């Protein structure tokens, strides 16, 4: 492994109650190297940040990025369905390009493999024109839930994958599947933790950030609002970190609506940053031992 640990960032979902400019400031104060930002609402009823290029919020985000030295690696989020077209992804690409993002996170909700591949390929062509690569995420409760299923689609569309510890664990992917991936398919790993076995139900706070809806399965509830801080659950994160290509950036995506009721955003961000940096150091040490 390299002598320098990989860059560590924080995904917007971890700090969803904050605006993009606030995420940047908080992430910098917590010790992160980069951020991922939502430029497009994900769930029904969720607040849409006004992040069009040239908007006051976009300009303020850029000012804070310049001030802190942080960068935006990824923007999110786009669901690729049977009728998704450039009209759906152009605003997100424009917003991401203005921020200097290098990837955009997408999920395949279209069950038709051929059509999904064509849609992703069209998105990839438009995204690469502005310096962005789509990353197709295997999500445990969507039609394409595993690395084995999504990797061929990403390859065929000249896109990449977004690996997420929760969805790898819950969706049925193996570490062998992860190790088999080409380095160019894995531009980032999203990390969090959780119980080894999925609980049958979760107790969710009445009020969630920005109008987010979680009236779904336990898989959705966990993924959206009740993940554990890296190292505070039962996932085999050390081995996961040792399974991805050397030097791959790691982004914390660990929203926890219960824990965040008792911690400030900065306290929560610091706890996550320290946790993942500790795991990365441990992963490097165990690699040297072997």
Tens-place pLDDT, residues 192-208: 999 999 888 877 766 66
With a cut of 70, say whether residue 288 has pLDDT above it.
no
pLDDT digits (tens, 9 = 90+) for 14-42: 998 899 999 999 999 999 999 999 999 88
> Phi and psi at residue 73, in whole multiples of 5°?
-85, -45
CATH number for 8-289 (one of 3.40.50.1820, 3.40.50.300, 3.20.20.150, 3.40.640.10): it is: 3.20.20.150
Pairing of strands 189-191, 71-80: unpaired
Q: What is the pLDDT of residue 216?
A: 72
pLDDT digits (tens, 9 = 90+) for 158-185: 999 999 999 999 999 999 999 999 999 9
**Residue 289 pLDDT class (50, 70, 90 cuts):** very low
pTM of the model: 0.93
With a cut of 70, say whether residue 3 has pLDDT above it.
no
pLDDT digits (tens, 9 = 90+) for 207-217: 666 556 666 78
**Residue 47 pLDDT class (50, 70, 90 cuts):** confident
Using CA atoms, how far apart are residues 12 and 14, in angstroms rounded to an integer? 5
Exposure string of 32-46, with b = 16+ CB inside 10 Å and e = fewer, is bbbbbbbbbebbeeb
Using CA atoms, how far apart are residues 268 and 96, in angstroms rounded to an integer? 26
Domain locations along the chain: 8-289
State whether the Cα torsion 247-165-230-215 is positive or negative. positive
């Amino acid at each position: 492994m390299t002598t320098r640990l990989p860059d560590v960032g924080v995904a917007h979902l971890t700090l969803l109650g904050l605006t993009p400019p606030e995420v940047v400031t908080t992430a910098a104060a917590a010790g992160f190297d980069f951020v991922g930002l939502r430029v497009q609402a994900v769930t029904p009823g969720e607040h849409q940040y006004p992040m069009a290029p040239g908007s006051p919020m976009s300009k303020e985000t850029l000012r804070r990025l310049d001030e802190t030295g942080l960068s935006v690696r990824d923007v999110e989020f786009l669901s690729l369905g049977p009728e998704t077209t450039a009209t759906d992804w152009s605003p997100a690409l424009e917003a991401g390009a203005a921020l200097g993002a290098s990837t955009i996170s997408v999920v395949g909700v279209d069950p038709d493999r051929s059509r999904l591949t064509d849609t992703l390929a069209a998105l990839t062509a438009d995204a690469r024109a502005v310096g962005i690569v789509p990353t197709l995420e295997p999500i445990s409760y969507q039609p394409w839930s595993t690395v084995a299923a999504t990797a061929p689609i990403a390859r065929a569309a000249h896109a990449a994958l977004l690996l997420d510890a929760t969805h790898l664990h819950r969706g049925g992917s193996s570490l062998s599947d992860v190790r088999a991936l080409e380095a160019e398919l894995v531009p980032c790993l999203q990390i969090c933790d959780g119980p080894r076995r999925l609980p049958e139900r979760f107790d969710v706070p009445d009020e969630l950030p920005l109008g987010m809806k979680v009236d779904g399965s336990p898989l959705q509830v966990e993924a959206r609002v009740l993940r554990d801080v890296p190292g505070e659950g039962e996932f085999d994160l050390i081995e996961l970190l040792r399974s991805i290509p050397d030097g791959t950036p790691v982004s914390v995506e660990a929203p926890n609506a219960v824990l965040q009721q008792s911690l400030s955003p900065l306290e929560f961000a610091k706890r996550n940053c320290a946790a993942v940096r500790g795991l990365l150091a441990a992963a490097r040490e165990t690699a040297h031992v072997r």
